[in-house]
Structure 1
Amino acid sequence: MLNRLTDTLNFQTQALTLRSERQRQLASNIANADTPGYQARDMDFARALREATGEVGTPGALATTQRGHMAPLAGARGESGKEYALQSQTSLDNNGVDMDRERASFADNAVKYEATLRFISGSVRTTLDAMKSHNQG
């Protein structure tokens, strides 16, 4: 039981760390909405989580055998696994930030971050309650 809890908490901790990093990226995009030439960045959260937890790809899904064989769907790859977000429309100053998309992504990520925190808290609380009841009875 302890190994299962540890594995679950490790997974959720990785998810929380990645959610935090994504929130930072989205906030940076919003802060640079008026910076000429700035290109919005985002991450493929599901892929980043698989890589962070050491999981192999989804069964039946195509695998990348050589770097650059298949481009990520969300945009072009940047440094350290970050991707450039696809622009929905061009701007005169070549800024790639779509504020509607960034705000929606920021809110969605914040809700998922909070859900992950609640899951971790609930798991710890349940485990502590189980240990208390075992010691008392």
Structure 2
Amino acid sequence: MTGFRDQLGVHAQALVLRETRNNLLTSNIANAATPHYKARDIDFGAELARASGNGTLRTTEARHFAAGGPAARGEALYRDPVSPSLDGNTVEMAVEQMEFAENTLRYQTSLALLNRRISGLMTAIKGE
């Protein structure tokens, strides 16, 4: 028998990561005029794989390199600007707005899929 969390699949984890990413993107947009502010983001695919337990690296031999780095630890990464500003700010409004719009759309899609999954479970529980 599988648990309730297993029935929700990856969508619940994706929703949490999308919210985290939205918070980072809105912070970037809010600090677009702050000198020396560095735009941050997460690698959504890597974070989702890490959160779902897929893609984790293990060393099987003492001579292997240890897996690490900011992305492997779930930290926000700094975005490389296409054209950095003179004041050291790396926020590019067009990029941030596009990423925010795409992430919001994907958040809504994950939410809709999760709602359908829960509705299906409720129907099964009620025996309809």
TM-score by length of 1: 0.76
Aligned residues: 120
Match of 1:61 in 2: none
**Structure 1 unaligned residues grouped into runs of 5+:** 58-63
SS of 2:2's equivalent? helix
Q: Which has the higher helix share?
A: 1
In the alignment, is residue 30 of structure 1 matched against residue 25 of structure 2? no
Aligned alpha-carbon RMSD (Å): 2.4
**Structure 2 unaligned residues grouped into runs of 5+:** 57-63
In the alignment, is residue 40 of structure 1 matched against residue 34 of structure 2? no
* 102 and 8 in structure 1: CA distance in 2 versus 1, 3 angstrom threshold: farther
* Alpha-carbon displacement from aligned partner over 1:74-115 (angstroms, at most 9, x marks no partner): xx86x8511100101021111000100000000000001111
Match of 1:84 in 2: 78
TM-score by length of 2: 0.81
Contact 2:47/2:74 (CA < 8 Å) preserved in 1? no
**Percent of aligned pairs sharing the same letter:** 35
SS of 1:3's equivalent? coil
* Alpha-carbon displacement from aligned partner over 1:19-72 (angstroms, at most 9, x marks no partner): 000000000000000000001000000000111111126xxxxxx94356xx8x
* 55 and 95 in structure 1: CA distance in 2 versus 1, 3 angstrom threshold: same
Divergent runs of 4+, >6 A: none
- Structural mapping, 1:1-137, within 5 Å: 3=2, 6-9=5-8, 11-56=10-55, 65-67=65-67, 80-133=74-127
Structure 2 distance, partners of 1:21, 1:84, is 15
